[in-house]
Each structure stands twice: as structure tokens, then as C-alpha cells.
A and B are shown apart, each in its own frame.
Chain A
Amino acid sequence: AQKVTQAQTEISVVEKEDVTLDCVYETRDTTYYLFWYKQPPSGELVFLIRRNSFDEQNEISGRYSWNFQKSTSSFNFTITASQVVDSAVYFCALSENAGNNRKLIWGLGTSLGVNP
């Protein structure tokens, strides 16, 4: 069965520190998609990145970077030089490749607090 595990419930760092949020997934399919979303205190889920299972290249977007490793079923997210505005709950989500699959499977989220 599909499953997403975010083992870190809460992380607290000081501004300018680097922080990595872990995501481990389980799936039986060979084709699937992984997502990261950010949920600030306002509640809105903000899309950050989508990665398909055939693309193992790491990706960098500004201070954000993602490390996808199929061998360990992990899709980790690193924030470099963290800022107070990065404080939020971050969710990792999984979708298997199926035309009739209509939903994402979500982890429980990691609450990141960045202190000044």
C-alpha cells in the first residue's frame, strides 16, 4: 500500500541555519509522483515541487533543494540559510500512476520553526 512517512514531527532552528526535512515513501508502482507543499499558519497549502519517479536529478530553486533517491525511497527537502518566513508545516505527498487515481497520499507533516 502507498504510504508517506515524515519522521520529524517538529524541527526548530535558528535563522541562517540549513535544515533538511525527510520524506520516505512506500509504493508498489514503478511510476509515481512526489510532491512537497508548504502550509504557513494561514492554512493555505502552497505547492513547492513535483517530481516523477523517472527523474532522479536533484533540483535547486533559490534556497530550496530536493534530493530524490529511489534506492532508499526518499525525497528529502533542504532549506539553505533558513529565514523566519520559512516557518510552516511542510508536507510530502505521493501519487501513483493510475488514470483512475484521484488523490494524493500525504505524510503527517513536519513543523519547522525558524527563530531569529
Chain B
Amino acid sequence: DAGVTQSPTHLIKTRGQQVTLRCSPISGHKSVSWYQQVLGQGPQFIFQYYEKEERGRGNFPDRFSARQFPNYSSELNVNALLLGDSALYLCASSLRGFVGLGETQYFGPGTRLLVL
């Protein structure tokens, strides 16, 4: 079975531009979470979606938005890019998103975003 897939793998943008990142979860998983990881840090939670509904949001500005499609894939959008948005963006897949109940999240390879 395929694992979590993300596209693109790398992206270079300039300040002020907008970007869309994509994620496909493991087959049978209905929840997708997005994390931002800057160099030298652990991942920071951005969003969680389950059955197309937002179930959780981290401390990120409104420039960050996401959605989940009927096939459970997901997109993360970032508007008005800033230099500080340069990071590895990770998508995590889980059955129902019950992280607090010990459900394991499986991660994709990430998208490396560089904002110039």
C-alpha cells in the first residue's frame, strides 16, 4: 500500500506570492494534519481535518488555510508569503485523527518551501 504522498517536493516562491501544497493520505485514513517544521525545530501543528471538516487549528495566521476533499486528500494554502514561511511542510495521515487517544500519525515526505 502506498504511504502518505505530498506534492510538490520542493518549491521556491517570492514574498507576497501564494502557494498550494497537496497531500494524499494512506488508503483508509480519513484524517489529515498539517505541520510546519523550520530548520532545527520540531514540527508545529497547523491544521487537522477529518471527513472534510476542520477539527483543529494551531497558532498560525489567517494567511494559512486548508481543505479536505471527498477522497480525503487535502490542500494547504498560504497567502502573502513571508520569508519566515520558509520551512518543511509535513502532512500526516491517521484513521480518524484522535491523536489524544493515541492514534498514530504517519507522515509524508514533506514539501520544502523556500521564500525569497
Task: State whether A97 touches B101 (Cβ < 8 A).
Answer: yes
**When chains A and B are docked, how far (Å) is the Cα of A93 from the Cα of B44?**
11
- The 0/1 profile, CB within 8 Å of B marked 1, for residues 97-113 of chain A is 11111111011110000
Chain A residues in contact with chain B, CB under 8 A? Answer: 4, 33, 35, 37, 42-47, 50, 52, 91, 93, 95-104, 106-109
CB contact under 8 A between A43 and B55, given known A35-B104, A106-B43: no
Chain B residues in contact with chain A, CB under 8 A? Answer: 33, 40-45, 48, 55-56, 58, 88, 90, 92, 97-102, 104-110, 112
Contact of B100 among A44, A100, A107, A108 (CB under 8 A): A100
Instruction: Give the one of A4, A44, A98, A103 with max B CB within 10 A.
Output: A103
Task: State whether A108 touches B43 (Cβ < 8 A).
Answer: no
- If A37-B107, A46-B107, A96-B100 are given as contacts, then 6 extra A-B residue pairs at C-beta distance below 8 Å, sorted by A number, are A43-B88, A44-B109, A44-B110, A103-B99, A104-B43, A104-B99
Task: State whether A103 touches B33 (Cβ < 8 A).
Answer: yes
Write 15 A-B pairs (CB below 8 A) sorted by A numbering.
Answer: A33-B102, A43-B109, A45-B107, A46-B107, A47-B107, A52-B102, A102-B48, A102-B97, A103-B48, A103-B56, A103-B99, A104-B45, A106-B44, A109-B40, A109-B42
